[in-house]
Structure 1
Amino acid sequence: MFPHGTADWMFLACFALIFYAYAGYWLLLRLLAQRRAVQAAAWEPTVSVVMAARNEGQHLAAKLANLAELDYPAHLLQVVVVSDGSTDSTAEVLSRHPGVEAVLLPESGGKALALNQGVRRATGELLLMLDVRQQLDRDALRRLLPPLADPAVGAVSGELLLEETNGVPSGEALGIYWKIEKAVRRMESESGSVVGVTGAIYLMRRLLYQPLPAGLVLDDVLVPMQVARRGYRVLFQPAAVARDRIFAEPGKEFRRKVRTLTGNLQLVQLAPWLLSLRNPLLFRFVSHKLLRLLVPFLLVAMLVTSAVSRNPVMHVLLVLQIVFFALAAAGTVAPGLRRWRLIAIPTTFIMLNVAAAMAFYKFLTRESVWH
């Protein structure tokens, strides 16, 4: 009979938590959360684009050209670019664009402090927060604006589309991960607020911006959480699109993920109120952001409990786990095998959880990932 021992129950508990972290939370929102209406309307407020740039000379000219093509009146759009101690051609590029409000910081203090400086120069009613590398669709700003006509809405996130070098949407397992993530964000948005925005594109009320602490990694999580704390909704608008390329450089996507996951741990340290009842999105924050950090340890516990169990069913599950890890190892050693989903999905899943384990290590050892 299954289960029939402590190890079996521990295995089931670990499996249930992993399932909840990646799929169960979304199912719970879909089944139980009530959809909340938004009083959207067309309007044209003043908007300040704020970007922090650290040695982005190779991308900055293209981004400024992209902003000039947005479907929005130029006299209502202010562009503020903060060079965070750049040592490349960033300042030179900015000097060729006199219409841009350039802030040249002599030394790098990190993205958070650069954004604080940029917002101080902003004059628009709304802030359009962007990263330099991604390109916006021409109608992206128009798509973000209507929900903010509702006085209950404080910020709206756009969507980041990851593409191959030929511009085709990614079909890799990482793309599948992003699809799951976006499905969760849609349900959070429809029923209340998302717990994080897309750092590459989000729009917010300038008066709701609060200065960010030095060294902060995840401004795209803390900023919307601060907005929600003040009683406003934070929505997700997938029709407002920023486009980026999948990292071709080996290991770069992994390093980016480690940095992001370490940032989740740093958030709790810098803003402990996130784990208190002062956070109106506490349940969502734990379910969406924190539980996934525990998954690598739960995977190890599943291996151990299935190995020590005397239940023959658990032994079958142990073999299946070993096969799953073997497929992931094959996809890591031979990246070409990832064209098959049977290889790609285990490889990406294990990559994400190795990144989570590395995040714990870097956080505990204070190894820098902030810049």
Structure 2
Amino acid sequence: MNFLFWFALGGIIYTYFGYPLLIIFYSKFRPFRVGKKEDMVYPKVSVVIAARNEEKNMERRLRNLFEQNYPAHLEIIVVSDGSRDATETLVAQYKNQLYQQGPNDRCSLQLVSYEKPKGKPFALSSGIAVASGEIVVFTDCRQRFANDAITRLVHNFSDDGVGCVSGELIFEETPGSAIQSEMGTYWNFEKWLRKLESKTGFVPGATGAIYAIRKKLFQPIPIQTLLDDVLIPLNIAMQGYHVLFDSSAVAYDVVSKDFSQEKKRKIRTLAGNWQLLALEPALFNPLKNPLWVQFVSHKICRLLVPYLALILLFSASLLRNEPAVIVLILFGIFILMAALPEMKHPLSIFNPFMRICKTLLVLNYFAFLAPLRLLFAHERLW
């Protein structure tokens, strides 16, 4: 029982404190520096969007992409995955407008259409198959890019050793969002950690809303894949190329006001991390996966925290020695701080700590549900 107590406690401490400290140390003493070339000749870029029933976002998304200040040709490829609304009509109308404006060497648009839904992984692979750009940018319909986002992403590829680059997703203020403060706290920590990982040359995944790859490095992924933005970069890393995070390449999004929608999105992400273990067992082989430490520490350890917490509480309740009592007291304080509403001055000094407690509680609740949903209610993840 004593072993279980210290094992669980050590696992939790490593996940939230030990691993970040390890990455800080590594990035300071063995930093990876991108060999960006100021005289880079920018290549043709293909932007692939997998879309299903996106009529409310499509026109705005296309306008945003065509307003990019990218200095070379930009090819936009929309893959309609069984859309039943006006998504395809809007793309066709936008394409006609481009043709009416005459020859355009700067940008082009094409539509790939499937009558029945085949899933996002299939749609992305289909987009890659028709893409003619040397670099492929993946994005979704919901977000918008800063005007220089694609230029900043692609500049990293002037270093021949770079295979994938993720941009930064910024959540804009949405009054009335039920969990905005909790998700904002989580996302700020996540971005901070990715910046540190990028300094080592290997980030275990990308931001699905904005990332780019070398087309020649793309490997088709299983159609049941939940996290294309993790598996695609990891496959590239296992080919010996660097995976980076560039915070200067920015996309914007909003946190859902609907708790159930944000819950579904986060559980899907966490379940996808479990799924990776079955889809790509080589990820667990440190001889094949150069991101082994980052992948296990950043992705897998977080999945285990809610179960480690249960083991810790169970063993502490039986041991009743001094360390166990301290853990139980701290856990009680943690639950209390997570449950209390935000306070007003002068007690407002506790609010940042309370937000951290709420964030950890919500995310670990989602992490606890994720494998159960994957095993027993897989259809609810889509």
Fold equivalence (TM over 0.5): yes
Deviations 1:72-128 (A, max 9, x none): 14x611000001101122112112111521011111111000001111110001101
Higher mean C-alpha deviation, range 287-296 or range 94-103: 94-103
Q: 1:37 aligns with which of 33, 45, 60?
A: 33
Deviation at 1:357, TM superposition (A): 1.0
Cα contact 1:209–1:223 (8 A) shared by 2: yes
In 1, Cα distance between equivalents of 2:326 and 2:222: 49
Aligned: 1:218 with 2:233:
no
Residue 37 of structure 1 aligns with an amino acid whose one-letter code is R
* Cross-structure match for 1:3: none
Amino acid at match of 1:341: P
Written as runs of structure 1 = structure 2, the 5 A alignment for 1:347-358 is 347-358=358-369
Among candidates 92, 95, 109, match of residue 95 of structure 1: 92
> Matches of 2:42 and 2:138 in 1, distance apart?
17
After the TM superposition, which residues 290-305 of structure 1 pair with which residues of structure 2 at under 5 Å, given as runs?
A: 290-305=300-315
- 2:321 aligned residue: 311
Q: State which of 145, 159, 165 in structure 1 corresponds to 2:154.
A: 145
Q: Does the aligned pair in 1 maintain the 2:150–2:249 contact within 8 Å? A: yes
Equivalence for 1:363: 374
Cα RMSD, aligned residues only: 2.2
- TM-score under structure 1 normalisation? 0.91
Q: CA deviation at 1:330?
A: 4.7
Correspondence for 1:286: 296
Read off the aligned partner of 2:304 and give its amino acid letter.
L
Question: Do the aligned partners of 1:109 and 1:215 also contact (CA within 8 Å) in 2?
Answer: no
- Give, in angstroms, the shift of residue 47 of structure 1: 0.2
C-alpha separation between the residues in 1 aligned to 2:255 and 2:140?
16
The 1-side partners of 2:205 and 2:166 are apart by 8
**1:194-213 matches, cutoff 5 A:** 194-213=203-222
Residue 20 (structure 1) aligns with: 14
Partner of 1:123: 132
Partner of 1:268: 277
Q: CA deviation at 1:287?
A: 0.7
CA drift at 1:174: 2.0
| Amino acid across the alignment from 2:332 | I
Cα deviations by residue, 1:290-335 (Å, 9 ceiling, x for unpaired):
0111000111112112211232453243133123224434569xxx
Report the AA paired with residue 217 of structure 1. L
Per-residue CA deviations over 1:276-301 (Å, capped at 9, x if unaligned) read 23222122111110011100011111
Q: What is the CA distance between 1:369 and its match in structure 2?
A: 4.2
Letter in 1 for 2:250: V
Q: Quick check: 274-283 or 238-247, which moved more?
A: 274-283
Task: Give the residue type in structure 1 aligned to 2:290.
Answer: P
Structure 1 unaligned regions, length at least 5? 1-5
Match of 1:80 among 61, 64, 77: 77
Q: Work out which of the residue numbers 141, 157, 167 in structure 2 matches 1:158.
A: 167
For residues 272 and 10 of structure 1, the distance between their equivalents in structure 2, rounded to whole angstroms, comes to: 27
SS at 2:5's partner residue?
helix
Give the C-alpha shift of residue 250 in structure 1: 2.4
Quote the offset at 1:150 in angstroms.
0.8
Gapped regions of structure 2 (runs ≥ 5): 96-107, 343-347
Question: Compared with structure 1, are the counterparts of its residues 46 and 20 closer, same or farther at alpha carbon in structure 2 (3 Å cutoff)?
Answer: same
The alignment-based identity, stated in percent, is: 40
- What SS does the corresponding residue of 2:266 show, helix, strand or coil? helix
Q: Shift of the alpha carbon at 1:370?
A: 4.6
Residue-by-residue CA offset, 1:129-148 (whole Å, 9 max, x unaligned):
11111010001111112220
Aligned 8 A contact 1:72 1:141 in 2: yes
- The question of whether the paired residues in 2 share the 8 Å contact of 1:215 and 1:370 is answered with no
* Pair 272,316 (structure 1): closer, same or farther in 2 beyond 3 Å: closer
Indicate if the aligned counterparts of 1:328 and 1:350 stay in contact, CA closer than 8 A: yes
